[in-house]
Amino acid sequence: MDDLITYMGYEWVQAEDGVITIGINDDGLEEFSEVASANLPSEGEEVSGDEVCGELETDQGPMNIYSPVKGKIVEVNEAVMENPNLILEDCYGDGWLIRVEADRQEDVDRLARAGSSDDEDDERESDLQEDEEG
């Protein structure tokens, strides 16, 4: 799990060949005993960096899903759509949510650099935000 990057405090992201896989980490799932449904974007849909692109309905209320990069959804985990509790059972394996092909390789590189540093999550997110705006 060394190549996983924490994003928004409760998501994990993994960058591979310009594609970002997004899931929920153990910290994000700590308070839930059930995930009732997953409302995820469709394949081919465009998403914006640092904006809500989906939602999980849990026994504790809704949880927003964010994409760390601007890009296009290239894969949605259909198994999670059919059985959302798969997220609780195997959050780092079969319970991943979506895969986003980043519009810009620089965003993927920046995400990888942020994951390898010891900065706080908030600093990483603000750095990503600043670079996206500028």
The pLDDT, as a whole number, for residue 117 is 66
Domain 5-122 has CATH 3.40.50.720: no
pTM of the model: 0.84
Taking only the tens place, the pLDDT of each residue in 114-130 is 777 644 444 444 455 45
By three-state DSSP, how is residue 21 classified? strand
**What is the DSSP track for 90-134?**
-TTTTT--EEEEES-HHHHHHHHHHHHS---HHHHHHHHHHHHH-
Question: pLDDT (tens digit, 9 = 90+) per residue, 29-39?
Answer: 998 999 999 99
Whole-Å CA distances, 13 to 32, 60, 61, 134 = 20, 23, 23, 23
